Structure 1
Amino acid sequence: MLLLKPNRIYTDGLNIYPGMIPEVIHKQFQYCTNIIERHNLTLRTHIKRLSRKTICFSKSKIYLEAHLKIYFWG
């Protein structure tokens, strides 16, 4: 299992985040969340395996990981 240790976590102003995310790495900034969401949408558009209601959706973790490695490598 991959264990992530982020330097910063950007969120919007929802009131539940301060209790869930350590204050040291938590940043409330709308602009950065927009960039992240735009990036996620671009990935879902380019890689149909990430969208559940498509014929290309991959249930197998092995195939999904292989496809993502090829996408980011090339």
Structure 2
Amino acid sequence: MTDTPPDRLAVDENSRYHDAAALERGVGIRFNGVERNNVEEYCVSEGWIRVQAGKALDRRGNPITLKIKGEVVPYFKTPA
């Protein structure tokens, strides 16, 4: 595994961007210079993150998310 986090990563296991190995290692997100710990999904190349919108759920029981655009800097919390 490289020392660079993936360009796009999702916490949801049903997403095609879910990477269990990277999540197990621990990925931190710095968004617009502020440390965020409630990120559901991110994309560095497109410059956005998805965060939960309160405790609201959709009809399938998944959390409703908001897409916020800005500078995304992912990093691994633990070394390889």
Category of TM-score, reference length = shorter chain: under 0.3
Q: Which structure shows the bigger proportion of residues in helix conformation?
A: 1
> What TM-score, normalized to structure 2?
0.22
Bigger Rg, which one: 1
Structure scoring higher RCO (CA < 8 A, sep ≥ 6) equals 2
